[in-house]
Structure 1
Amino acid sequence: MRVTLAFAFACALALPGAAGAGAPDGPLEARHLGLVINEDDPDSVAVGEYYGRRRGIPAANVVRVRIPERPRALELARFRLLKAEIDSRLGPEVQAVLMAWTAPYQVGCHAITGAYTLGYDAALCRDTCRIGQPSSYFNSPARRPLREHGMRLSMLLPIESVEAARALVDRGVASGFHPAPAHAWYLETLDAARNVRAPFFPRPGPAAGGRVTIHRLRADALQHASGVLVYQLGKAQVDGLDTVRFVPGALADHLTSHGGDLLGTAQMSSLRWLAAGATASYGTVSEPCNHWQKFPNPSVLLRHYLNGDSAIEAYWKSVAWPAQGLFIGEPLAAPYDRRSRMRVP
């Protein structure tokens, strides 16, 4: 990863705290989500149908496509046909799309989620370290991204095994019940090139009315921690994940160049976060250099999540230039939605 830090613009970041008065719309729900299943992938069919049942996705929001051979990357022309097919089947109420598969996850230098939501930027692929296409949704108070920003959010529900994917779905559903006290961990590592988000780490102390405790730690890995809601750091490989216990709805990611190359081996895949028990994660699929704007901003992510946004909303709002970034996990996890306080497990 080339060491180039670009603070191209300033953004005002409120410290996370108890959720205040919000817009009348709540976070995204099942009726707002399109579910895309690959009929040529039996695991996609099994997991997609399970997700549809568990989340109550309307039948009209389920799109079945055919992508044979599960390629890691799609050619641009093939991707455009896929996107057109998906969009033609979804109504204006659908604000986000979940693709139930691991591959394909890339289109040129773009993540498939970035290409689907923002469109394809050919100039970026000529120099992947350049400034990315800015997202108008970054740090936005919007509740309906398609209606308010003309953006239909997207996320991948990856499948290492059907059992693991079902467990991931179950964690997302479980997050909707009243959350237990939890912890948000931010690590300042010795990896200077990947530690560029440290200035944006929230201040240590209580948040969300005391239900979440924020910690900052100078270390290269978290060890033997429980009740983890957020875990963010900058490292190519993260040790000790088998000792970390995540709560349902947990968000976790590591700033490195190729975390979004899910099936690659050069650096730790973002899939490892989900395998360790997190519910959503993020990683880039091509060399981004270490522009902090191409990665989740820790303060923005935490603030929107604690204020009741779903995982897909909070993660998308936290990335200023998300074209190269792959969003993965269970999109509707929303442990701090006010309505969750009224639910009974």
Structure 2
Amino acid sequence: MHRLTLAVLLAMVGSAQAEPARPGLSPKQLAIVINDADPNSVAVGAYYRKVRNIPKANVVHVSIPNSPQRLDAVQFSVLKKEIDSQLGDGIQAVLMIWTAPYAVECNSITSAYTMGFDPGQCTRTCDAGRPSKYFNSAASQPYAALGMRLSMLLPADSVQQAKAVIDRGVAAGFRIVPATAYYMVTSEAARNARARFYPPAARLASKKIATKVVHADVLENADDIIIYQTGMAHVGKLDTLGFRPGALADHLTSLGGDLLGQSQMSSLRWLEAGATASYGTVSEPCNHWQKFPHPAILLRHYVGGASAIEAYWKSVAWPTQGLFIGEPLAAPYRR
């Protein structure tokens, strides 16, 4: 395997900075939003607050009866105002603890919250999206620097599963363990839009991480995964895989973020398989690479010490349709 230093690999991303900015997101800067009409949200929210030591003042309560999968623009506007009215100025990011709602018309609920609802995207969902000011940014305080409160959704359909995701995020911070980032080049040509951005095969000894590009439709029997990125409508053999605490995994397809949809594999399957965070689009995006996590930029920021929410948000250029899910504070390389 070709050996590269960490500095060389980071430079390949083309950032102006020689090293990633020091990430700054901490539990006291994260607000958690609990749906009081959903008992699972209440239970998972209480657990998350305890294990992540979230200040009581950072707990936001809302009520969303019946948990619809999608909100319209008016419903979302009311919800956002209710959330924002309960936030202090120091809050840089928000974690919504529920499975649904996960979309606002054609926008994801996380992008609508962080960047504002974009009705124009819904006219033609395959058009280019609005650029994110946070894409590959050096900002360590997104709200203070850019006026953007990052957001993520922690699915809570299963309290047990949600607690397992949280526990993996917490465990990621204890020590660096040997791991591999896997990048798949599959037979689904249209879904290989990101393949040109895959990092080269390398071993970064100081971080105990290797990168591998695999030409196959499926990864099987790997037990050291820290990143898994592919392009498939359905990803097989997930039950044969082992994910490290803090692992990120996503697949480029049209409707991975339609969490409860049936047409393609839901991003929930990644969390169920052992990943700690994931991403998917909630409406037809076409295969613009800008609407999905950029592999090299995601790796650069995550290995550089960013948390899952920071690294994922920094890796998507046009995130309007993209839903960020999982445990936001996971940071296996923050040292």
TM-score grouping bracket, smaller chain normalisation: over 0.9
- Which residue pairs with 1:146 in the alignment? 143
**CA distance in 2 between partners of 1:135 and 1:260 (Å):** 19
**Does the 8 Å contact 2:243/2:274 carry over to 1?**
yes
Residue number in structure 1 paired with 2:177: 180
Q: CA deviation at 1:250?
A: 0.1
- Note if contact 1:236-1:267 (Cα within 8 Å) is conserved in structure 2: yes
Q: Which residue of 2 aligns with 1:3?
A: none
Deviations 1:89-131 (A, max 9, x none): 1111100000000000000100000100011111111000001
Q: 1:31 is matched by which residue type in structure 2?
A: K
The aligned runs of 1:10-89 (5 Å cut-off) are 14-15=11-12, 23=21, 26-89=23-86
2:319 alignment partner AA:
P
Give the C-alpha shift of residue 27 in structure 1: 3.2
Which one of the candidate residues 202, 226, 229 is aligned to 1:229?
226
Kindly, what percent of the aligned residue pairs are identical? 60
Aligned to 2:297: 300
Quote the residue 2:321 is aligned against.
324
Alignment match of 2:98 (pick from 80, 97, 101): 101
Q: Matched residue of 1:314: which SS?
A: helix
CA offsets 1:14-52 (integer angstroms, 9 cap, x no match): 347xx97665x5431100101000000000000011000
Q: TM-score, normalised by structure 2?
A: 0.94
Q: Which stretches in structure 2 are left out of the alignment for 5+ residues?
A: 1-8
Match of 2:281 in 1: 284
Q: What is the 5 A alignment of 1:228-247?
A: 228-247=225-244
Q: Which has the higher contact order (CA 8 A, sep 6+)?
A: 1
Equivalent position of 1:312 in the other structure: 309
| Residue 5 of structure 1: aligned partner | none
CA contact (8 A) 2:247 2:275 kept: yes
Pair 212,83 (structure 1): closer, same or farther in 2 beyond 3 Å: same
In 2, distance between residues paired with 1:330 and 1:66? Answer: 22
Q: Counterpart of 1:200 in structure 2: which amino acid?
A: F
RMSD of equivalent CA atoms = 1.5
**Per-residue deviation, 1:75:** 1.6
Q: Is the 8 A contact 1:20 1:307 kept in 2?
A: no
User: Could you tell me which amino acid in structure 1 is paired with residue 107 of structure 2?
Assistant: H
- Specify the alignment match of 1:249 in structure 2: 246
* 2:34 partner amino acid: I
What are the ranges of 5 or more consecutive residues in structure 1 without an aligned counterpart? 1-11, 339-345
- Aligned CA distance change for structure 1 residues 21 and 199 (closer, same or farther; 3 Å): closer
Encode CA deviations 1:58-89: one digit per residue, 9 max, x unaligned: 11110010000010011211111111111111
Cα pair distance change 1:49/1:98, threshold 3 Å: same
